Every structure is written in structure tokens, then in C-alpha cells.
Structure 1
Amino acid sequence: MSTIDMKSVGLNESFIQEARLYSKWKIGRISSQSKDLYKVITEWGELTAEVSGKFRFGVQTSADYPAVGDFVLLSEPDNRIDHATIHHVLRRKSVFTRKAAGTANDVQVIAANIDTVFICMALNNDFNLRRLERYLSIAWDSGATPVIVLTKSDLCEAIQARLDEVSSVAIGVDVVVTSGLSEDGYLVVKAYMVPGKTFVLIGSSGVGKSTLTNRLLASSIMETNETRNDDKGKHTTTSRELFVLLEGGVIIDTPGMRELGIESADLSKSFSDIEELASQCKFSDCSHGSEPKCAVQEGIRDGKLSPERLASYLKLKKEAQYEGLTSRQIETEKLNRMFAGAGGMRSAKKFIKSTKKK
């Protein structure tokens, strides 16, 4: 029976060392999930698996469950009818998450143990700098390295102007341009692919992620759709799935995400220009509004910074600060900010008492 080289699909010494603590189980990597069942790549092939009862009992949040890209420890089934059993998820070296839709505190894991995040954005009607800033902030926070992939260049007549706009917000990030119509339009992305590494494609629905995945895999595994009459893409991918590249390494395709709730974000990298200006403000707690000698506002007046970018920064900063809090905790945090400074807590308590009397 042929075996799979697990190192070619991302297994490294760190995972191996941790797995030695549980020598009775084998290492596998989650390639897809369908409700409570998982597809797992192992050295002896791909298996269908489910978590053990003990694992399920110990779970505290949905993010603790195995996700696509996770390395897990599992036991083989006793026969061909039963499923393999997942007992443990190895420590993630990186994880791309977002706030789960319709919940107050839950987190959805998009992909785990990734090395490079390809942020795909079409150069047609999907082009949106504010959304790109959001993706970059979360990508940096994941622990992986972001690369911006501008797709559908054949539908854009002002590519250089778009590149200039992207460069103004993508500080220190590689930017590449692709076209689904060109047979070799994917090669600029393929140049990043190296054996043993993990890559994930994220972006809005219909930006061409599945088309790009098919090119990279030299196949038509992922279904693709034509664009709508309004030049916006149709949704194709409905679940996250990990694919093994012929040259080694793996790529994860994800469903389109037009709305991306922030659980945590690294604004110091995605907004390094604003952070640098903010360090020059007269007051360390400057809100970058009407305070005197605000270096950020001076940057706007000098044309170094756009008001829209500052507004995006402040919005994401507030969202990341309040994410995961209950409504009461959010109100408390707002009051603390309102009455920040000397005697602030006493003033906040007085304010709360006065509102209760009314």
C-alpha cells in the first residue's frame, strides 16, 4: 500500500514532538468537514473520522473543534464500516478566524496552520479598499503572511491606478495581478508555492478563487460560475477544503466572505502608517479627533493620509476592542472611555447612578 509523505502536506518537527506525548495515536490533517464528520489525510490514505465522546465533552467553544488545516491525533477504525476517531488537536501554529455569524461571542475558524494568506480581490466592481484593510488586519493577526491577489485584470482598464490605491493601504505586502482568461495568469501566484507549506485563498464571493485553485491544481476540481449581469461574481465554493499540490504543499479554498466580523486584528501592521503618526501625537491617549498637536490630523492636512483610511482604522480598532463582549460589558467599556483620565471611574459611577434614578 502506498503511503503519503505527511511532511509534504505541512507536518513539521513541532507537531511531531507534541504528537510523541500521545504515542498510541496517529497523526492526520483535516482536509474537509461535513457536519460532524471530517476527511483526514494520513500516511496510510484519507479517512473519514469523528471526534471522540471524551473530546466532545471537553470542548468549551466551537473553535476548539478540529478545523480544516488542523493536525490531529486519531485512532484507526476497527473495520471498514466504522469511522476513525479524533482524540486530540495539535497546537495550532497559526489560525485565521472571524466572528461567527449570528452569535455574540463565538469564533469561526476559517483555516489553521497556514503559512501564506492570499487575499483575493477582483479589479472590477468588487474592488473595495476598506474591505481589504479588514482582511489585512485579520490576516496579520493569524500569524501567517498575507499576499494580495488582484484578479480579473481583463475587466479593468485602469490597472495601474488600482495598484496605486492598493499600495497606499497594503504597506509591506506583496501585490500580484492575475487574469482567469489567461492560461498562464496564475503563474505569479504559483511562484509562492513551495513543498511543505500551506496556503489559503480568501475573499468575497465570485472574485475567482475557485478558478485560481483549479489552475494551481491543474484540474477542474472546484466548480466555477460566470459573473452576473452587474459584473459581480456568483458564489461557488460552499465549504472549506484542503487540496494537495502536485509539487508538494497544500492549498485551502474558502467560501466567499463579503462580511468579515473581527474577533481580533493586528492593526500595528495593517495600519503601520497611522500607528507611526500616532506615536508623534502630543497626548499618548489621543483619539485623533480635535486634540491639539495631533500628528494624525496633521498627516491628513498634509496629504500623507486620507480621512477615509483614518475612519477605517478607528472603526476596526473599536470593533476589535468590543468584539466578544456582552452588551453590558460594551456599555461599561464605553463609559470608561468617556470618563478616561483622573477621577474617571468615580465620574462613571456617578453617571450610572444618575441614570438609574431617572
Structure 2
Amino acid sequence: MNNIDMKNLGLTEEFKQESKIYKDLFIGRVSSQSKNLYKVITEKGEIVAEISGKYHYNVKGISEYPAVGDFVMVDRTNNSQGNGIIHRILSRKSVFAREMAGTKEEIQIVATNIDTVFICMSLNNDYNLRRLERYLSIAWDSGAVPVIVLTKSDLCKDIEIRLNEITSIAIGVEVLVTTSTSDEGSRSLKRFLSSGKTAAFIGSSGVGKSTLINCLLGQNILDTNGIRNDDKGRHTTTRRELFILPHLGVVIDTPGMRELGIINADLTKSFSDIEELAFDCKFNDCTHKNEPNCAVQKAIKDGVISVERLESYWKLEKEAKYDGLNSKMIEKEKISDMFGSMGDKKNFRKFIKEQNRKTRR
């Protein structure tokens, strides 16, 4: 069997250096999960693995378990002697996470170590600007770069109008238009893919994520279904899964999300128009509600932004516990959430170092 090109899978020198801490273990990347078992791609091939008893004992929350996209340290590279054992997760360089449905604070990791988030939204009944704002806010906060992928353009009669609406709220984000009737759309995705990079497909059920991935793979690996009577796509994908694209890195397919609860959000980027207008408000702590000389309210009266967009901003700000905070205060709130009263100085310094490294990229 030929060795797998782990560099194409996203294995960087940083991951290699970190892995040297753990002697007699092998590095691999989680490709899928089914209950308590994981598929892990190693240099020698894909194995089935489970976490060690010690690992399980030390876990404090669901987000600390391995997730698709994680680089992990395992005790073997084949299953000839039984399932492999996962002992460690290496540091995540980016995380797309959401609040789990039905809970208030439990985090569900959707995908990790991603470079690009393809936010997929169909141009038929799935079209929803407010949901798109929500996806963008989480995507920017994840550390990855969002790209909007509009699907099923053949079912839309007013594409130009919708494109104008999207570009007005997705400032600085590239927008691609695709259709399942042509492979031109999937070809446009390839310029965002390259060896060593990871892209995750995110979106509602039935928007065509699996169809796009099948086109990139060049074969029908993932099941797809047609359109329902209500013009919405049928849900097919039931779990997160990582696929290798020869010389183009990897892609991660994710199930459709009925709910997208927010843990953290980067409103500075997803609502950069409102953030920039706020600099011209009379008061630094302006809430853009009843204060005099509010630049944001003036922009609404002038038709520059919609009242719906401001209401969406307020809603996401409140969900992310940033209500009434400016950008610097939000960063402090994020750090406080992560490290409590700053007693864990080692982790705090590590966090700041990581943020500075991302900024220099």
C-alpha cells in the first residue's frame, strides 16, 4: 500500500513539532465518527480507533472529544491487532462550533482545522438572509475564511436581485453561483482548494452540499436526493465526514443544521458596515436605539442599511453575550469566558500568542 500524503491532508510543521512530545505514538487525522468509534487517517492508511480510558476520564465537556478534522495521536497505524487508541488531540488551529440544539451552553464541534468554510444556501425556498448573517458570524469567528456558495440557481428567476441583497450584507466575502445541471459551479470552488488546505461545507439540509462534493471527488461517493414537493431539498448527509482530494487537500461534509445556536461570533467582520457607521455616532457606547445623533439610525433612514439587518445584529449580539460591548470589550469577554479570572496565565499567554500568529498570516 502506498503511503498517504499527510502534507496534502493538512499536516503542517507545527503539528509535527507538537506531535514529538508524545513518544511511541503516531499522528493521524479524524475523518469520521460513529458513536464512540472514530475513523483516523494515518500515513499507512485509515484505521478505526477509540479514545483511551484515561482520555475519557479527563474530558470535561463534549467539545474536548475528537472531532472531524482533528489531528490526533494514536497507538497504531493498522487494525491487525484490534482498534487503535486515541491518546491526545493536537492543538486546533480553527474551530467551527455551535451551541447544541436543546442546550444553553454545551458546544458542538462541527469541524476543526479548516481554512475555508463554504456556506451553502440554495436560491429557492432555503434562501434566508438572516440565517446567512448567522453563518457568517460564526464562520469568521472560527478562524477560517468564509465563501458563500449559492446552489440551485436554475430554480431562481431573480438571481441578480438576490445577489445584490447578499453582497450588501456579506461584505468582503466571495460569492459563487452554482447549479446541479452543470459542473461549472464545482469548478469555481477549486480555486479555493489546494494541497494541505481544508474546506468544510456548511448549510441547511438539502441545499446540495453532497452534490458539490461528489463533483469535486469525480464520483458519487455521497448519497443525494431530489427536490421535495415544497421545493426544498431532501436531507441526506447524517454525519460529518472528511474526504481526500488528490493534490487539492481535503473537504469536510456536514449534516444540515436545523438550528445554529451561537457560542461566539465575530460581528466586527460579519456586520462591518454597522461597526464602521458606529464610529460616527455621538456616543462611544451607542446602542443604536434611542440615542441622539446615531449614525446607524441615520443610515437606516437614508436607506443605506435595513432595519432588519440592525435587528439581526442586536439579536446575534445578545446571543453571543456581547450586548452593549464595543470590539475591544468583546475580545476581553471572549478571553474571560475562556480563562475565567485570568488565573490560568499559561493558557492566557498561549491564547494571545495564537491570536497574534493568526493576525500575521
The two structures have a TM-score, normalised by structure 1, of: 0.88
Report the CA distance between 1:258 and its aligned residue. Answer: 3.0
1:170 matched to 2:170: yes
Residue 130 of structure 1 aligns with which residue?
130
Report the AA paired with residue 108 of structure 2.
Q
SS state at 2:175 partner: strand
Query: What's the CA shift string for 1:203-239, capped at 9, x where partnerless?
Result: 0011000100100110101100011011011111000
Report the AA paired with residue 311 of structure 2.
A
What aligned pairs does 1:49-64 form with structure 2 within 5 A after superposition?
A: 49-64=49-64
Report the CA distance between 1:6 and its aligned residue. Answer: 0.6
What aligned pairs does 1:279-298 form with structure 2 within 5 A after superposition?
A: 279-298=279-298
Report the CA distance between 1:176 and its aligned residue. Answer: 0.6
CA distance in 2, matches of 1:185, 1:271: 27
Contact 1:10 1:249 in 2 (8 A): yes
Aligned CA distance change for structure 1 residues 219 and 292 (closer, same or farther; 3 Å): same
Report the AA paired with residue 125 of structure 2.
N
Residue 308 of structure 1 aligns with which residue?
308
CA distance in 1, matches of 2:185, 2:117: 19
Query: What's the CA shift string for 1:111-135, capped at 9, x where partnerless?
Result: 0000000000001111100000000
What aligned pairs does 1:199-348 form with structure 2 within 5 A after superposition?
A: 199-321=199-321
Query: What's the CA shift string for 1:20-72, capped at 9, x where partnerless?
Result: 11132110000000000000000011000000011111111110000000000
Contact 2:47 2:77 in 1 (8 A): no
Consecutive unaligned residues of structure 1, counting only runs of 5 or more, are: 324-358
Query: What's the CA shift string for 1:138-164, capped at 9, x where partnerless?
Result: 000000000000000100111111110
- Residues matched between the structures, number: 323
1:101 matched to 2:101: yes
What aligned pairs does 1:166-205 form with structure 2 within 5 A after superposition?
A: 166-205=166-205
Report the CA distance between 1:283 and its aligned residue. Answer: 1.5
Residue 156 of structure 2 aligns with which residue?
156
SS state at 1:256 partner: coil
SS state at 1:31 partner: strand
What do you get for the CA RMSD once the two structures are aligned? 1.4
The two structures have a TM-score, normalised by structure 2, of: 0.87
Residue 31 of structure 1 aligns with which residue?
31
CA distance in 2, matches of 1:212, 1:97: 22
Contact 2:31 2:41 in 1 (8 A): yes
CA distance in 1, matches of 2:208, 2:195: 24
Query: What's the CA shift string for 1:144-196, capped at 9, x where partnerless?
Result: 00000000010011111111000000000000100011133311112221111
Residue 12 of structure 1 aligns with which residue?
12
Contact 1:77 1:85 in 2 (8 A): no
CA distance in 1, matches of 2:152, 2:29: 32
Report the CA distance between 1:248 and its aligned residue. Answer: 3.3
Pair member with larger Rg: 1
SS state at 2:200 partner: strand
1:112 matched to 2:112: yes
Residue 339 of structure 1 aligns with which residue?
none
Contact 1:203 1:258 in 2 (8 A): no
Query: What's the CA shift string for 1:233-271, capped at 9, x where partnerless?
Result: 111100000000123300000001132000110000000
Contact 1:288 1:296 in 2 (8 A): yes
Residue 331 of structure 2 aligns with which residue?
none
Residue 76 of structure 1 aligns with which residue?
76
CA distance in 1, matches of 2:171, 2:257: 23
CA distance in 1, matches of 2:246, 2:184: 17
Report the CA distance between 1:5 and its aligned residue. Answer: 1.3
SS state at 1:273 partner: helix
Task: Please identify, of 95-104 and 110-119, the stretch whose mean Cα deviation from structure 2 is larger.
Answer: 95-104
Report the AA paired with residue 184 of structure 1.
E
Residue 332 of structure 2 aligns with which residue?
none
CA distance in 1, matches of 2:3, 2:288: 58
CA distance in 1, matches of 2:199, 2:164: 26
Task: Please identify, of 20-29 and 134-143, the stretch whose mean Cα deviation from structure 2 is larger.
Answer: 20-29
Report the CA distance between 1:81 and its aligned residue. Answer: 4.7
SS state at 2:20 partner: helix
